Amino acid sequence: MEAKVIFADEKLKEVFDLLRESDNELYKKISKALAHIKNNIWAGRQVKKKLIPKFLVDKYKIANLWIFNLGKDWRLLYSLGKDEIEILAIVLDWMDHKDYERLFNF
């Protein structure tokens, strides 16, 4: 199922654009992941509802969370939603593995 990919907030989009300007390897990984997610909303792995960090639920008012691996060192977090006519894949954040482990208390 195809989706429209959007960013959760403008600041995150600005950071993504800065990565593009610097021709950063992370930008390439994120871009590739977004293309996969756009074409298949289930490209990542779903986090069980009880394991979604409260911080993310409170900040973004999400009911689901998906994780897409950006290689061995980075993770992209996204949530699925919908407006009246299309499914949205909402990019919440990306983080290195250390921050990812900290967020999920591993």
Residue pLDDT, tens place only, 24-64: 899 999 999 999 999 999 999 999 999 999 999 999 999 99
User: Which value, to the nearest 10 degrees, does the dihedral of the CA atoms of residues 4, 9, 55, 83 take?
Assistant: -40
Give the residue-averaged pLDDT of 79-101. Answer: 90
Query: Which parts of the chain are beta strand (E)?
Result: 4-7, 45-46, 66-69, 74-82, 87-96
Domains by residue range for the chain, with CATH: 4-103 (3.30.2310.20)
Residues 74 and 29: beta-carbon distance below 8 Å: yes
Q: Length of the chain, please?
A: 106
Tell me the whole-structure pTM to 2 decimals: 0.91
How confident is residue 1, by pLDDT bands cut at 50, 70 and 90? confident
